[in-house]
């Protein structure tokens, strides 16, 4: 039951995603190609949860909608950087971890898209 609650707790879910993303990025080889990609990935991937927390503290409906829209945009950008990252790694384990993170980022994109759509009215 508690695990089911965690699936729907977006603050916890986005924090877990950020933590997993950080661990993944630490494991990546660092070179002239990967360092800028890793930096972008960390920035957009960890900002999803930060913006969601800001949305939960919003002072108005418009502020909430704006922060949720930013969550969606950051999740979509994360997808892009994960796709590029997947092309830069050679290890099958890293490719699999990248695919798992991509899948979660895709689910977060869909969740925030739905919230964005449902709060427009």
Residue-range domains of the chain with CATH:
2-118 (1.20.1440.60)
Neighbours of 77 (CB within 10 A): 19
Number of H helices, E strands in the chain: 5, 0
What would the pLDDT profile of 18-60 be if each residue is shown by its tens digit?
A: 999 999 999 999 999 999 999 999 999 999 999 999 999 999 9
Is this model's pTM higher than 0.85 or not?
A: yes
d(CA 26, CA 49): 19
What would the pLDDT profile of 70-115 be if each residue is shown by its tens digit?
A: 999 999 999 999 999 999 888 999 999 999 999 999 999 999 999 9
């Amino acid at each position: 039951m508690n695990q089911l609650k965690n699936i729907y707790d977006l603050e916890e879910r986005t924090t877990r995603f950020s933590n997993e993303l950080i661990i993944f990025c630490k494991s990546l080889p660092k070179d002239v190609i990967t360092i800028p990609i890793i930096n972008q990935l960390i920035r957009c991937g960890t900002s999803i949860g930060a913006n969601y927390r800001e949305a939960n503290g919003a002072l108005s409906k418009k502020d909430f909608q704006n922060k949720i829209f930013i969550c969606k945009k950051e999740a979509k950008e994360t997808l892009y950087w994960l796709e590029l990252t997947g092309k830069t790694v050679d290890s099958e384990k890293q490719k699999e971890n990248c695919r798992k993170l991509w899948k979660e980022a895709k689910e977060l994109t869909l969740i925030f898209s739905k919230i964005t759509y449902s709060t427009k009215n």
